[in-house]
Structure 1
């Protein structure tokens, strides 16, 4: 082969190997388009730079640290409206707060004038408005637009020019305008009712919400006028007023279509938040819809809430039947007399619509306890629960403990089925699923029945129940579902209290944050003995009682345990 041909062959082989690599290199070298607001959002919320690296900063004067825990949201919160912790005030960093100078509130000026401590009503400037340069100085160097040095707790971030521009772009957009569902005069709310909810329950819940909304409108007839021409020292309150409008979203058909229906409702009329709501089976479709749209869902009536580490916008009363299963585990393994003795436990539950959740939770929790052997029976049709069914099941399984994750209509034949059954020492039923235990549980087996009860015991006269009764009576609303109505009234009342404290900052994130701080101060707590939330907490009630039927009174539930918090 000639030298020329050898050279051509070498070049050809080299080209076959290197050309794809060269093409790949060129492809890699193409500039990546960065959305400044989205990049800044990730820096703010997650503490991650566009490069994928965690944030870096100087703390305590000269210590360089790095990590995603340096994200801004940890202190300034997702809304950007700040917080306070142990006497330290974390100021707001929203676009409106930063790019507008801080002024003394007009009611403060009014107080000074009336007490003779000020001679002028002119606003007193407390801090000049930030611009891009002074904000960068504050973030990097810890010096405000007025020249004041920030608290040492505020990290001095190490940002490149593009990185500071990304964060600045996001801060300008943060809570810049009201969330969807809010206009200059109206706040739109919705409540969700799913397929399968009894008509009586639907009416009971909607009646409470509609009357609450009507009362709110009637009590504030002058608010609209005051919002337009109120006294100057009250414009910070009066100007924040909005009328409330309620929309009822009813979901029908297969559960797989609910998300599409919710999207359609929302496109037709965006709402600021969902208040209350009621559903059968798993709440997952509504939960996912709210998380995807960053829409607050406030205390729906569901026994099957979504228990998730990433939940932000869904606030629940408790973990539903999952909480009951975990509390029952604590009772059976640590509290119940003879808890260490070997026993056989049988669970009966529905297999559809996610209603196997409590059985799965109890089974998982008891796996590590060798003294309790578990068997399970899933049912598909309530019609199969005849007396003969129960007799056959008990004879076959021979349990000493029976756990029933069933509702009132499932237990119509349990008395006849268990009358002749020997060996069953205890029967545990769900206090959430059973709404009328005195009608559903026959008298001749009540001495064996225990109720996993997540609500205030009747003898305790829950504050929410006691306040709900006269409220309903004064409005001539029937109360066949008092527990549901008390919880619905709590949801609406709590939302009203929080909205008032938000003034004109109609941000859904701020709504959630105010809820976290204010729930524990509620005077009426629905059907629960106590409710509280904190940053990141999404379940307001954390425990249950184990109750039982009183042997002295036919219509009384008494505690068989203290409040159990698993």
Structure 2
């Protein structure tokens, strides 16, 4: 059942999101530097053209019109690749020329260093001239201009084709000049006019509404810990004086103002996963929300991921061990790939790609996991990675009533043993003989409890842990603030990483909203998080967090570690931080 659910979700996600991952990459070296992205724009034209032919939009729905496909994918109404020319004669084609690369999915632009990409949605393009910001009744974004002539359809067309602004002055060198016929130009202008016309869900004059989602198979201890943090954070946030948004006087006056109360809605799902999306739609209809914050999943998060992408709702850093793989969608952001990242770390270690190999080639690998648990997806990912290199991989699924020691029979005949097990099963390894010295043994750190994994002393000298977070002594100063906050507010620490990650998600949301001022657009929220995340100092369990456009996983790597002594919890890394 899990395979069917995951396959179905991934098919929809592929159709909905492959284009999105491609078209958000920058189009030239100048923009690579501008957005600090090490991405290859030369590979951006094939997939969008294929999907555009199929009539699938970046949100997984039928393409609205030629204007949207031009803006998001760089595909003209005829189906041909969009062509643009930058100063110096550099030519861009297809997705590399799409407007979304610079002006972002929201159309509200971006700012990096001294360079600013202005907003190009209808209400910003057509606003009347104003003497200063005090007279400009528009939500504040970087790049907004008050003292200029409003655009018309004709001057927008001139700007796109010839690079001249509403007053006939040259635009920035970053702005390419596009070859568009009249029909495509009209379609693009119509799309810009309606791009930001939707009234944001979950946004009232004095309240911002957020949801957190909990699946029925989520760990009840982690659930309580997460909700304690969320509810207390919302309580603290709402202590500040409230009031309606004041007139926009200056960007300085507006920055960091707290003018809306936060309201948390807890959406508890029930029953089989194939009914979750319908439940979520009912929740959304009854309680419209601006974004989903944190959350807690069990064996699958795919239906929630698909729902948030379909409904264009930002889903910010849920606590899930098996996020939906890949960077293909836009609205769902994760702190880590979880056990899927662990599979990549173990694969690199087995293949010797981190330079610290075990001294001999691994030809056969045996994996052990319980059906339906997070380890099943991780085992499948690892098997796929190893089989590409000719390594034989076999799996042993532990039955619900079976002791894990029995499942280990025959493991000694393989070069490597990989265990995707929970603490109870790990503790039960005491009844099984330790593997031979010639067998490399790996286990999931996330599933086992990281440094608190109850690995029997007889197994510690031979077992390596996939560890997709920073080492305990290195992360201590980054989590001390959160745990101090818990202590002052008498929040019991029952699930350390879940509670630290939840607190981190809350802080990231609060900081991002303060910089958004009063521009409550879901796409813009995601874009601002992408821009701001790498400047975050307190990053919790992770040494560094970054989200370039087209990336959905903020922490990119991890360690392979082992216990330093048979009876302690101190870990030592077997090599440097690994980014698969």
The alpha-carbon distance between structure 1 residues 471 and 254, as it changes in their structure 2 partners (threshold 3 A), is: same
How much does 1:209 deviate? 0.7
Partner of 2:536: 522
Aligned counterpart for 2:100 among listed residues 62, 69, 73: 73
Is the aligned partner of 1:43 residue 2:70? Answer: yes
Matched, 1:452 2:466: yes
Q: Which residue of 2 aligns with 1:408?
A: 423
1:250 Cα offset (Å): 0.8
Counterpart selection for 1:126 from 147, 151, 159: 147
In structure 2, the CA distance between the partners of 1:230 and 1:101, relative to structure 1 (3 Å rule), is closer
- Aligned partners of 1:139, 1:344: CA distance in 2, in Å? 58
Superposition deviation, residue 559 in structure 1: 1.6
User: 1:385-464 counterparts in 2 under 5 A?
Assistant: 385-387=403-405, 389-390=406-407, 392-394=409-411, 398-419=413-434, 422=436, 425-435=439-449, 438=452, 440-464=454-478
Alignment partner of 1:321 out of 313, 325, 339: 339
Q: Which residue of 1 aligns with 2:50?
A: none
Written as runs of structure 1 = structure 2, the 5 A alignment for 1:2-13 is none
Identify the match of residue 498 of structure 1 among 506, 509, 512. Answer: 512
1:29 alignment counterpart: none
- Report whether the alignment pairs 1:182 with 2:182: no
> Displacement, 1:101?
4.1
**Secondary structure at the residue paired with 1:356?**
helix
Paired position in structure 2 for 1:241: 259
Measured in 1, the distance between the counterparts of 2:252 and 2:487 equals 36
Q: Is the 8 A contact 1:106 1:234 kept in 2?
A: no
CA gap 1:551/1:297 in 2 versus in 1, 3 angstroms = same
User: Gaps spanning 5+ residues in structure 1: where?
Assistant: 1-34, 110-123
Change (3 A) 1:501 1:64: closer
Change (3 A) 1:490 1:284: same
CA distance in 1, matches of 2:448, 2:131: 55
* CA shift in 2, pair 1:145/1:428, >3 Å: same
Matches within 5 A, 1:196-211: 196-211=217-232
Distance in 2 (CA, whole Å) between partners of 1:241 and 1:47 is 39
Q: Contact conserved, 1:201 with 1:481, CA < 8 A, in 2?
A: yes
Q: Could you say what secondary structure the match of 1:413 adopts? A: helix
SS in 1 for 2:65: helix
Structure of higher RCO (CA pairs closer than 8 Å, 6+ residues apart): 2
- Kept in 2, the 8 Å contact 1:228–1:239? The answer is no
Q: Quote how far apart the aligned CAs of 1:470 are.
A: 0.4
1:272 aligns with 290
**Residue 212 (str. 1) matches residue 233 (str. 2):** yes
- Name 1:357's counterpart in structure 2: 377
- Distance in 2 between the 1:93 and 1:231 partners? 22
2-structure distance, mates of 1:94, 1:46: 17
1:544/1:565 contact within 8 Å kept: yes
Q: Is the 8 A contact 2:398 2:404 kept in 1?
A: no
Partner of 2:521: 507
What is the correspondence of 1:540-559 to structure 2 with a 5 Å cutoff?
Answer: 540-551=554-565, 554-559=568-573
SS at match of 1:548: strand
Deviates further, 299-308 or 172-181:
172-181
- Cα 1:479–1:105 change in 2 (3 A) is farther
Could you tell me how far apart the structure 2 residues matched to 1:432 and 1:375 are?
A: 22
Aligned residues: 509
Given the alignment of the two structures, is residue 338 of structure 1 paired with residue 358 of structure 2, yes or no?
yes
Q: Deviations over 1:112-142 (max 9, x none)?
A: xxxxxxxxxxxx9521221222222222222
Structure 1 residues 260 and 90: alpha-carbon distance in aligned structure 2, compared to 1, 3 A threshold:
same
> How far apart are residue 369 of structure 1 and its match?
3.8
Superposition CA RMSD, Å: 2.9
> In structure 2, how many angstroms separate the alpha carbons of the residues matched to 1:57 and 1:447?
60
Say whether residues 1:90 and 2:117 are aligned partners: yes
Distance 1:239 1:353 in 2: 44
Which residue of structure 1 aligns with residue 36 of structure 2?
A: none
Give 1:378's aligned residue. Answer: 397
Q: Are the aligned partners of 2:73 and 2:94 in contact in 1 as well (CA < 8 Å)?
A: no
Larger Rg: 1
CA–CA distance in structure 2, aligned partners of residues 440 and 46 of structure 1: 50
SS in 1 for 2:170: coil
C-alpha separation between the residues in 1 aligned to 2:554 and 2:257?
A: 32
TM-score (norm 1): 0.83
How far residue 40 of structure 1 moved from its aligned partner, in angstroms, is 1.5
Aligned counterpart in structure 2 of residue 156 of structure 1, from 173, 177, 191: 177
For 2:266 and 2:380, how far apart are their aligned partners in 1? 33
CA apart distance, 1:438: 4.0
